[in-house]
Every structure is written in structure tokens, then in C-alpha cells.
Amino acid sequence: MENERIDQIIDKHQGEASSLIQVLLEIQCENRWLPKEALERVSEKLQVPLTRIQHIATFYKAFSLVPKGRHEIHICVGTACHVRGATRVLDNVQDLLGIKPGETDLDLKFSLETVNCVGCCALGPVMDVDGKIYGNMAPSKTADVIKNYE
């Protein structure tokens, strides 16, 4: 990510140190992960120590310090999905992709994450790929969904 773009984001938030989380969220949203160089730039511009930025970047779930795959799979493990069998769906996706939640496969195709409720409980168990919701999932259906993504 270009330093110029980072500066723009920081300026948008009036360069206040208290807007650190909002700045990081915007960088994460655009770049999909937080490279070290970007964090250093933020640290310099906002006059916030890098240790504090690291603390925040590792405390909150929205941030990733490693590159993400082209497609992000979120398996909802909210309570409603859980009682409807989300664990079995998750196990199955893990087996299919060979990665665990929080991981990205070697060719950067898929990243797998769990999410604690996407608010579509009527459709549970729910699987979300790049923001598209697949409802009423079952272990037997996951392969059909995943094969649609290149």
C-alpha cells in the first residue's frame, strides 16, 4: 500500500491519535491486511509507538498481519448455527481446504475464518464466501459451494 494513500486516510481522520483504530480499519479494508510498512507509517504520522499499534492490531479480530487469500470464507459459529450443526460444517470445510480457522492456503486462494453471528439465524448453519451468504449448509453441500470459486 502506498504511503500517499495511508496519509490520505490519516488526514481524513484529522490525524488524531484517538482515531488509530478507525485508520487501521480503513487500511485493513482496502488492503485486506496490515503490512509492517503501513503500520510504521501510521506510527510515524500519528505519533503513536509501534508497540501500541501492534497491541491493537493483535487485540482486535478485524485485523490481519498476514496476507489473505483471494476468497475469504467465514463459517458462522454463532449459537443458533452451532445448535444446528455448524461444527460439522466447519470440520468438513477444514478437511476440504486443509486449513484451520485463521489460516490461508499456500496458493493464497482461500482464507478460512469463523464468525460469531452474521445475524441470518433463520438460515443457519450459514457459510459466507466473500460476503455472499450460503444458508442451510450441511457437510454434504460445502464442496459444491467451494468449487464455484477460482
Partner 1 sequence: MPRINSPEELEKVRQEILSRRDPSKPCISICAGAGCLASGAGEVIAAFKAEIEKQGLTTEVNTKGTGCPGFCERGPVLVIYPEEICYLQVKPEDVPEIVSQTIKEKKVVDRLLYADPTTGEKATHESDIPFYKNQERNILGSNIKIDPKSIEDYLAIDGYSALSKVLFLMTSEQVLEEVKKSNLRGRGGGGFPAGRKWEGSRNAPDPIKYVIVNADEGDPGAFMDRALLEGNPHSILEGLIIGAYTIGSHEGYVYVRQEYPLAVENVNIAIRQAEEYGFLGRNILGSGFDFTVKVHQGAGAFVCGESTALMTALEGRAGEPRPKYVRSNIVGLWGKPTVLNNVETWANVPLIINKGADWFTQFGTEGSKGTKIFSLVGKITNTGLVEVSMGITLKDIIYKIGGGIPGGKRFKAVQTGGPSGGCIPEKLLDLKVGYDELTKAGSMMGSGGMIVMDEDTCMVDVARYFLNFLIDESCGKCTPCREGMRQMLKILNNIAEGKGREGDIELLEELAEVAVDASLCALGKSAPNPLLSTLRYFRDEYEAHIKEKRCPALSCKELIAYHIDPDKCQACMICLKQCPAEAVIGGKNRIHVIDQEKCTKCGTCFEVCPPRFGAVQKISGEPVPAPIPEDARTIVRKSKEK
> Would you count residue 135 as binding partner 1 (CB under 8 A)?
yes
Residue 45 as a binder of partner 1 (CB under 8 A): the answer is no
If one asks whether residue 137 binds partner 1 (CB under 8 A), the answer comes out as: no
Among 4, 59, 147, 150, binds partner 1 (CB under 8 A): 59
The helix (H) or strand (E) run that includes residue 99 is none
Residue 96 CA to residue 4 CA, distance in Å, equals: 40
78 lies in the binding site for partner 1 (CB under 8 A): yes
Q: Considering only residues 36, 95, 108, 130, which one is a binding residue for partner 1 as defined by CB under 8 A?
A: 95
Q: Which one of the spans 3-11, 32-40, 73-81, 103-111 is the region binding partner 1 (CB under 8 A)?
A: 73-81
From 1-9, 35-43, 104-112, 115-123, give the range in contact with partner 1 by CB under 8 A.
115-123
- The three-point CA angle 108-101-40 to 5° equals 65
Residue with cell 468438513: 92
To the nearest whole angstrom, how small is the minimum distance from the Cβ of residue 48 to partner 1? 8
Residue 40's φ and ψ, nearest 5 degrees, are -65, -40
C-alpha cell at 140: 454434504
Site for partner 1 in 13-32 (CB under 8 A): 16-22, 24-25
Pick the stretch among 3-11, 30-38, 104-112, 122-130 that binds partner 1 (CB under 8 A). Answer: 122-130
List the one residue out of 70, 74, 52, 78 whose CA is nearest residue 142.
Answer: 74
Phi, psi of 23 (to 5 degrees): -65, -50
